[in-house]
Structure 1
Amino acid sequence: MPTSYLKDLVESWRTEFDWRAVEARLNEHPQFTVDFDDTTIYFMHVRSPEPDAMPMIMTHGWPGSVVEFLDVIGPLTDPRAHGGDPADAFHLVIPSLPGFGFSGPNPNTGWNNLRTAQAWAGLMRQLGYDRYLVQAADFGTGVSLTLAGIDEEHVAGVHLNTLPTPPSGDPGELDNLDDEDQARLARSARFVRELAGSMKLQATRPHTVAYALTDSPVGQLAWIVEKYKDWTDSASVPEDAVDRDRILAIASVYWFTGTAGSSAQFYYEIAENLPINVSTGRYPAIKAPLGVAVFPHAPFVPIRRFADRDFPSIVHWSEFDRGGNFAALEEPDLFVEDVRTFRRLIKE
């Protein structure tokens, strides 16, 4: 990251960024905390004015937070007010992952995909939702697929905009891949080789990196903003893909809550599921209908043949020509419409 760029960004954060405006945006929506086992989970619960809205729980990844969903809450919960069909409405539950942002810092270990999925299932049950959809990206994907497996009686469908599809190890399955799939395979390999340093470090030495990040706001900012350059549809600077104030808002959440360490710990807890190697990152199949939105500038762009191999319940697959890892931030209109399209496929 160029020093000149970081200096400019830090100066914007220090003198121009308006955290109170972010607070005001968050406070437009009902927010709660609930205790699960040894930790406290923060979540937004935004009910639609439409009585027949479909409940949906949305899970962010790293370095993300509930802030990345602020621009899609209105269109998803109240499509009538945003030029859409009221039949597409959702009741939204948007938690912070354990140890992230307002759900942290969490000094306890053991919060992996399974334990988090159990908390999500319990949360939806406490809220009175007997049947609901699940939406996620980044390593929210692992939580959501696990949730669909342990609560299959209540999960009506899963919509993902991140789905790693690593090769199985059978050399024959690489035969006859077209040029696009070969490019996707190469993209995954490049990510693992050149851009996965933070993933590998946090999955193996989360506490070591935490000391530096917790002690330096500039270090924390640089650690986060780099990903909004490498993992987005960004031509030269992160702001090509995501508004600067939104990037600073997300960095502020990590800094103000002191969750660099406990969010890194989540990587450590789910290390066996991470695509740290080009041949890893596989998740178990689910019975619930699965929808996949493919954004071409994400670190891992799924290969349909491999996805069908691992997930026979895919009922929806869409490919976009722009967007990356943070679809709700980068391309909120595309994201919203794709979630609505998937919802229409789910039987009441």
Structure 2
Amino acid sequence: MSVTPREPAIRPFSFEFPEAELEELRRRIAAARWPEQETVADQSQGTQLATVQELARYWASEYDWRKVEAKLKALPHFITEIDGLDIHFIHVRSQHEDALPLIVTHGWPGSVVEQLKIIDPLVDPTAHGGSASDAFHVVIPSMPGYGFSGKPTTTGWGPERIARAWGELMKRLGYTKYAAQGGDWGAIVTDFMGVQEPEGLVGIHTNMAGVVPSGIDAALIAGNPLPAGLTLSDEEKAAVEQLDFVYRHVYFAYLMGSRPQSLTALADSPVGLAAFMLDHDAASLDMIARAFAGQAEGLTRDDVLDNLTLFWLTNTAISAARLYAENTNSFFGVKGVNLPVAVSVFPDEMYQAPKSWAEQAYPNLVHYNRVARGGHFAAWEQPELLVEEVRAGLRSLR
């Protein structure tokens, strides 16, 4: 007699962080040992001392984790084992009958906190300037090693494997037609979902397009001259200059990609964790520094600390960093997606993907738009704009 294997269970998930853990966090912040001030007047040596000291002061004396904790707890959380690893996800279904399921993937140094502002507008568009035909059922997983998901104990959890796991997750949830969206690592995972074409995936939306031609990408990564004979438009030349700067300055990626375990201090010092994670890209660091200097724009002080505190409480600085060591792909290069793709280009992204490259990289490009403002963390910084782009970009795929 044969026995049919049982489908792995999808289990409700809850979390609780005792006050003692928050008290210990504040104690560690207060006990920070500070270096001397940087010897330059800008961010060229990294996160400036004044920014980190103001962040630490606010984190230890005014910040209230319980506010974002309440927002998180108000959402339906689940966990399920996929490929031997527990995967946590938020799953919010729309009341609208014809809603399109959408799996949204965060990046580094992010978490599901990045997407909190876009959930309601996507799920309940009629309450947020849209129509019922714009509705989505939203699935937001924590990537392996991030947030509430399990931490891999062996190598092999790169973006391709995560993409396969997301396809399995959507199948397990019973979705036979769905789309995918992402930025940062989420964009790379989403691109690979587009490459793998799991059953039911009808298209993707990206706010960090992987469209750089292979010859240009390889030359810039190596710091070599571009291939001979290239004729570039002004838009393409601007993208090349931006990419050249990025590849020369993403030191965090090189460090995590080669020596993640050597960053153990990030698990021991909340101030060290903050100083490292704030230094993602120049525009984002400038914006965050302005926030801690008292200017309200894009991310707020609480936004930044909501995410940092989740990293601290879940002790995921090192497990998250290992994703860089697992990756063998270009961040911005062409992956080979043939499904329908929608691209949104934010002006302060690390590079502005030219439409000409997007048309070559994504032969089924159904939407391309340059938006007015916003940067790398689009869902977090400019949720209204990103929601508008997701609605418009995926509308033809319903």
Q: TM-score, normalised by structure 1?
A: 0.92
Letter in 2 for 1:191: V
Equivalent position SS for 1:234: helix
C-alpha displacement of 1:172:
5.7
Residues 1:243 and 2:300 are matched in the alignment: yes
Residues 1:106 and 2:152 are matched in the alignment: yes
Residues 181-196 of structure 1: matches in 2 within 5 Å? 181-194=236-249, 196=250
Shift in alpha-carbon separation, 1:213–1:233, aligned structure 2, 3 A: closer
What residue number does 2:195 align with? 149
Residues 1:177 and 2:246 are matched in the alignment: no
8 Å CA contact 2:267, 2:318 repeated in 1: yes
Distance in 1 (alpha carbons) for counterparts of 2:369 and 2:340: 14
What residue number does 1:305 align with? 356
Letter in 2 for 1:31: H
C-alpha displacement of 1:47:
0.3
Equivalent position SS for 1:56: strand
Letter in 2 for 1:311: Y
Residues 1:324 and 2:379 are matched in the alignment: no
2:72 aligned to which of 13, 26, 30:
26
8 Å CA contact 1:167, 1:173 repeated in 2: no
C-alpha displacement of 1:325:
0.6
8 Å CA contact 1:35, 1:41 repeated in 2: yes
Residues 155-170 of structure 1: matches in 2 within 5 Å? 155-169=201-215
8 Å CA contact 2:51, 2:289 repeated in 1: no
Residues 1:253 and 2:313 are matched in the alignment: no
8 Å CA contact 1:152, 1:288 repeated in 2: no
Equivalent position SS for 2:239: helix
Distance in 1 (alpha carbons) for counterparts of 2:286 and 2:391: 23
1:266 aligned to which of 311, 323, 337:
323
Identity over aligned residues, as a percent? 40
RMSD between superposed Cα atoms in Å: 1.9
Unaligned 5+ residue runs, structure 1? 276-280
What residue number does 1:278 align with? none
Residues 1:200 and 2:254 are matched in the alignment: yes
Shift in alpha-carbon separation, 1:305–1:233, aligned structure 2, 3 A: farther
What residue number does 1:212 align with? 265
Distance in 2 (alpha carbons) for counterparts of 1:205 and 1:285: 29
Equivalent position SS for 1:237: helix
Distance in 2 (alpha carbons) for counterparts of 1:183 and 1:238: 28
C-alpha displacement of 1:14:
1.1
8 Å CA contact 2:210, 2:361 repeated in 1: no
Shift in alpha-carbon separation, 1:131–1:69, aligned structure 2, 3 A: same
Distance in 1 (alpha carbons) for counterparts of 2:114 and 2:229: 37
8 Å CA contact 1:231, 1:299 repeated in 2: no
Unaligned 5+ residue runs, structure 2? 1-46, 217-226
Residues 1:90 and 2:136 are matched in the alignment: yes
2:287 aligned to which of 228, 234, 237:
234
Shift in alpha-carbon separation, 1:5–1:176, aligned structure 2, 3 A: closer
C-alpha displacement of 1:282:
2.0
1:67-108 CA distance string (max 9 Å, x none): 111111111000112232011000000001000111144333
Shift in alpha-carbon separation, 1:285–1:142, aligned structure 2, 3 A: same
Equivalent position SS for 2:287: coil
C-alpha displacement of 1:15:
1.4
8 Å CA contact 2:213, 2:334 repeated in 1: no
Distance in 2 (alpha carbons) for counterparts of 1:64 and 1:6: 18
What residue number does 2:33 align with? none
Equivalent position SS for 2:299: coil
**Structure showing greater Rg:** 2
Residues 124-143 of structure 1: matches in 2 within 5 Å? 124-143=170-189
Letter in 1 for 2:158: N
8 Å CA contact 2:257, 2:325 repeated in 1: yes
C-alpha displacement of 1:152:
4.3
Shift in alpha-carbon separation, 1:232–1:329, aligned structure 2, 3 A: farther
How many pairs were matched up? 338
Distance in 1 (alpha carbons) for counterparts of 2:229 and 2:283: 29
1:293 aligned to which of 315, 322, 344:
344
Q: TM-score, normalised by structure 2?
A: 0.81
Letter in 2 for 1:268: A
C-alpha displacement of 1:308:
1.9
Residues 1:335 and 2:386 are matched in the alignment: yes
8 Å CA contact 1:164, 1:301 repeated in 2: no
Distance in 1 (alpha carbons) for counterparts of 2:102 and 2:285: 25
Distance in 1 (alpha carbons) for counterparts of 2:337 and 2:229: 22
